[in-house]
Amino acid sequence: MFLSLNPSRIKKGLIISLSSALFLFACSESSTEPKTTKPDYGIAGDGNLTEILEYTLDETKVPAISALLFKDGQTIEMAAAGKTKMGGSEEVTLSGKWHVGSITKSMTATLAGIFVEKGLINWNSTIAEIFPEYTDAILAKYHGLTLQEFLTHSSGIEEIDLRQWYASSENIMDQRLEVAGEALNTEFSVTRGEFSYSNTGFTIAAAMLEKVGGNSWEELIQENLFLPFGLALGTFCK
């Protein structure tokens, strides 16, 4: 997914939920030689954040970096340095979109919490309760798996090969149902209740939320997270 650091788009509620400084890195190697002099870090708001980022950019060998410093919901300083891609000439900007990975699980869990509060689903809602029409098509031992188990990587569902869906033009909600159907028809070695990191489990959780929410995960996230927090520039990769 992509997000912007434009402060006019970020509300206090989101800012205070983050750590005291947010760093977003683009991932690749750089041929730039590191600077020899390390800048004085100084104090927040003294105006040398750009210099610090330029030094960090050279040290970390990444094409670009952006940082936002804030306290008590107020932006103190922000800066960006580097190129939008390795070997490119376009400079990154604060209003540009950054590809942010590994945060959609927390977003899915937050959406689940919102739906639990709305009474649309419970943490202990099971596969059989949410998808009664598919119980005959999946292994009986998975009928009782709960939303909470999928969100805590304790369902016993391991990873399945998702490559067949990478280039699919099929409706995204149908794709998630297919992933869920295949996973819930597969015997895994992990015991239920045992922690086993699983992207597939979160895909199934997303399908459960889509069923009760009546829309795609992407639309539900936009409606329930992005818009309330003022993330008008947030989009998803395709």
DSSP state letters, 144-204: T-BHHHHHTT-SS------GGGTT--S-HHHHHHHHHHHHTTS--SSPTTS----HHHHHH
Q: Could you give the percent of the chain with pLDDT greater than 70?
A: 84
Instruction: Give how far the C-alpha of residue 6 lies from the chain's centroid of Cα atoms, to the nearest Å.
Output: 19
Query: Which pLDDT belongs to residue 66?
Result: 92
Q: Is the pLDDT of residue 124 over 70?
A: yes
Helix (H) or strand (E) holding 71: strand 64-71
Q: How far apart are CA 154 and CA 195, in angstroms?
A: 5
Q: Delineate the domains of the chain, giving CATH numbers in brackets.
A: 2-99 (no CATH), 104-226 (3.40.710.10)
Q: Is the pLDDT of residue 136 over 70?
A: yes
Length of the chain: 238
Cβ burial 200-225 (10 Å sphere, 16+ → b, else e) = bbbbbbbbbbbbbbeebbbebbbebb
pLDDT digits (tens, 9 = 90+) for 152-189: 999 999 999 988 898 899 999 999 999 999 999 999 99
pLDDT digits (tens, 9 = 90+) for 68-86: 998 888 899 999 999 999 8
Instruction: Supply the pTM of this predicted model.
Output: 0.74
From the list 104, 98, 68, the residue with the least C-alpha distance to 83 is: 98
38: its two tokens: 């390390």
